[in-house]
Amino acid sequence: MNTRTVLLCDDNKDLGVVFKIILKKLNLRLETAFNGKEAITYLHSFPQTGLVLLDLQMPQMGGVEFLKYRKNDVALSKIPVLLLSGNVDVSEIAKKYDIPDFIEKGRGDDNFFMNFQSVLEKYFPPTL
């Protein structure tokens, strides 16, 4: 059973603050990892995590390397991933790794946050 926990895997610490505010409004808990290796360690300890928000460009182990690892790990492959990227052609990577949703991060405008919230609601329907 998936919990209402989201793992943000991104090396931008400021982004975690913004996402925490959004997720709190949806009654979701945020955990963070700053690269793919930290995400793998966390997810092996907490396989019931409901969603991974994955940046593609990070030090040590980036998002693509994480996706390659995840593809061959039965437990991790069951945890849904939402790709986040501002600099890479995220649609091609999403297609290659069978990731149904992605969001291009960038300006932090209202459209970004509305799109992000609507995608999150696919994974975590609003609670009453």
Number of other CB atoms surrounding residue 24 within 10 Å: 11
Please indicate, yes or no, if residue 40 is contained in any of the structural domains. yes
In this predicted model, what pLDDT tens digit does every residue of 83-99 receive, in sequence order? 987 766 788 889 999 99
What pLDDT is stored for residue 67 in this prediction?
96
Give the domain extent around 85. 5-121
**115 falls in which pLDDT band (50, 70, 90)?**
confident
Please indicate, yes or no, if residue 24 is contained in any of the structural domains. yes
What pLDDT is stored for residue 16 in this prediction?
81
Residues 68-86, mean pLDDT to the nearest whole number: 92
Calpha distance 109→88 (Å, rounded):
19
Number of domains composing the chain: 1
Please indicate, yes or no, if residue 45 is contained in any of the structural domains. yes
Looking at residue 63, which CATH number applies to its domain?
A: 3.40.50.2300
Q: How many residues does the chain have?
A: 128
Please indicate, yes or no, if residue 88 is contained in any of the structural domains. yes
The pTM (predicted TM-score) of the whole model is: 0.89
